[in-house]
Structure 1
Amino acid sequence: MPASKQFAAVTGAGSGIGRSAALALANAGFAVALIGRRAEPLLETKEAIGLAGGEAHVFQANVADAASVEHAFSQIAEAFGRLDVLFNNAGRNAGAVPLEVYEVDFWNDVVATNLTGVFLCARAAYRLMKAQSPQGGRIINNGSISAHSPRPHTIAYTATKHAVTGITKSIALDGRAFNIACSQIDIGNAATSLTERMNRGVLQADGSMAPEARMDVTHVANAVVHMASLPLEANVLNMTIMATTMPFVGRG
């Protein structure tokens, strides 16, 4: 491979935002490591990248499991030799559940994927980026507009996304000495299977049900590529990309 080749890893690469971002990164010239729990959708993403002339490799892993994450990233290091970008994207939705009936097991499941999983993948990527030569790289965490403002009855999801902001800022600070930049992209209503319900109507802050605008997920993917392609002397610490007319800015 040419010396200028860059290498990116995308978690949750089997569908939605992860698949779209992996395709866009490959189209931008990155060799992409596709990480996720299920092999079949990852292989579908790999096939789509290959048909477009890009390079991708599948690394099956459960982001909430420390040993699984470490194994995947050791395989990535062996296959690529280095890692320039991690799009720390994997997460789960949690639906609307009133606090008084919230189950501890449900809370723990959301935290395991949306918070512990982000930490585990960031830690693994950070270790690679610190040890490699030339040193450095970029970690892009998928936050959410829920990192800033909650939807009704979403305490676990909202808490984990607020916590991702803390992870991002901590890595951005700690990574300075090793040329590791860290960013966060906060996404509002990208058109994926997870947001199809918004066409029918979702719970609003005033208790009403209303449909919400969505945007093409390609816009998110292009934003990730922009963040990933910056030289390490520059960093988009936080970006919010959202459907323009969704009811995020304003009072409920």
Structure 2
Amino acid sequence: MQDQFDLSDRVAVVTGGSRGIGRAIAEGMAAAGASVVPASRTTADVERVVESIREDGGEAHAATVDVADAESVESLIAAAEDAFGGVDVVVNNAGVNPDGALGKPEDVDLDGLDLTVDVNLRGAFACAQAAAESLQESDGGTVVNVASVGGLVGLPRQHPYVATKHGLVGITKSMALDWAPDVRVNAVAPGYVATEFIEGALENDSIKQSLLDRTPLERFADPEEIAGPAVFLASDAASYVTGSVLAVDGGWTAK
């Protein structure tokens, strides 16, 4: 049974792979045997992840990408193909939730809305689209989209973020239909994870406590706790799973 989780001979591209959930997923994929291409906008940060993976005996290649730019996405997939011969797994983890996109609907800045859509939704679609040929030629191509509990339920004052994550859940399901049986497409929907992404919320004791009160497990996730489910969805252990969204939320959506 353990061999079903083995990602040896697989090549995994992980966007937003320089920190937080993305870094944990990149390192988790490498620990499972995959050759990993972590990518983000900051080259130095990605190179540190690659160095860590190599120190642990894994194979990795650093790449930079702006997922909101189609040419940059094409270059990322080409770099992965050049480095390792193809792409078997695409993890769409890059995401934003800028200050300008927060607040009541009447207060949301439309530029913030546009940026959120460009990165969270358009960027994820573009990465999967650019890797389509490699994924379809792979013996077991998979896409793992990192959505959110905000893709399953509403979250106050996070309207663009929630809209894009709901959209990513929809794309996961529709893409799974079009690419079956050759490519499986699934998503993980994390709850609140202790990363830089939610630092602002955690600095406010009242908000922090309200989030914990809403979470049955009464704590925030560690990034590594999202990596395990992502590795599962990319592996043969999930060979009959496609078009699904796995909530990894400490029970948030059970209420």
* TM-score, reference length from structure 2: 0.87
Across the two proteins, how many residue pairs are aligned to each other? 239
Tell whether 2:30 aligns with 1:26: yes
The correspondence of residues 54-73 of structure 1 with structure 2, limited to 5 A, is 54-73=58-77
Any idea what SS the aligned residue of 1:129 has?
helix
Aligned runs of 1:111-126 on 2, under 5 Å? Answer: 111-126=117-132
Give the letter aligned to residue 187 of structure 2.
Q
1:201–1:211 CA contact under 8 A, matched in 2? no
Select the structure with the greater relative contact order (CA < 8 A; seq sep ≥ 6): 2
Unaligned runs of 5+ in 1: none
Root-mean-square deviation (CA), in Å?
Answer: 2.1
Residue 168, structure 1, aligned to residue 175, structure 2: no
Contact 2:18 2:40 in 1 (8 A): yes
1:230 to partner: Cα distance: 2.0
Aligned to 1:17: 21
**CA distance in 2: counterparts of 1:43 and 1:72, whole angstroms:** 15
1:50 matches 2:54: yes
Confirm or deny that 1:238 pairs with 2:245.
Answer: yes
Q: Tell me, in whole angstroms, the C-alpha distance in 2 between the residues paired with 1:203 and 1:97.
A: 17
Within 2, Cα distance between the matches of 1:209 and 1:53?
40
Q: Displacement of 1:52 after TM fit?
A: 0.9
Q: Verify the 8 A CA contact 2:188 2:246 in the aligned structure 1.
A: yes
Q: Which residue, 211, 225, 230 being the options, matches 2:231?
A: 225
More deviation, 161-170/213-222? 213-222
- Structure with the higher fraction of residues in strand conformation: 1
Provide closer, same or farther for how the CA distance between residues 198 and 97 of structure 1 changes in structure 2, counting only shifts above 3 A. closer
Of Structure 1 and Structure 2, which has the larger fraction of its residues in helix?
Answer: 2
> Within the alignment, does 1:140 sit opposite 2:144 as a pair?
yes
Kindly provide the CA deviation profile for residues 90-133 of structure 1, in whole angstroms up to 9, marking residues without a partner as x.
11123531211222111111111011101100111223222x3x
| 1:196-215 alignment, distance < 5 Å | 196-201=199-204, 210-212=210-212, 213-215=219-221
Partner of 2:131, secondary structure, is: helix
Distance 1:163 1:201 in 2: 29
Please name the residue that 2:110 is paired with.
Answer: 104
Q: Which amino acid aligns with 2:150?
A: S
Large movers: runs of 4+ above 6 Å? none
Q: Answer yes or no: is the 8 Å Cα contact 1:201–1:210 preserved in 2.
A: no
Kindly, what percent of the aligned residue pairs are identical?
32
Deviation at residue 249 of structure 1 after TM alignment: 4.0
**1:188 counterpart = 2:191:** yes
Judge which range, 230-239 or 14-23, deviates more: 230-239
Task: List gaps (5 residues or longer) in structure 2.
Answer: 1-7, 213-218
SS of aligned partner of 2:247? strand
Give, as a single letter, the amino acid of the residue that structure 1 aligns with 2:133. R
Do the aligned partners of 1:11 and 1:87 also contact (CA within 8 Å) in 2? yes
Task: State the TM-score, normalizing by the size of structure 1.
Answer: 0.88
User: 8 Å contact 1:172–1:181 — kept in the other structure?
Assistant: yes
Map Cα deviations across residues 129-153 of structure 1 (whole Å, 9 max, x no partner): 22x3x55500000110001112211
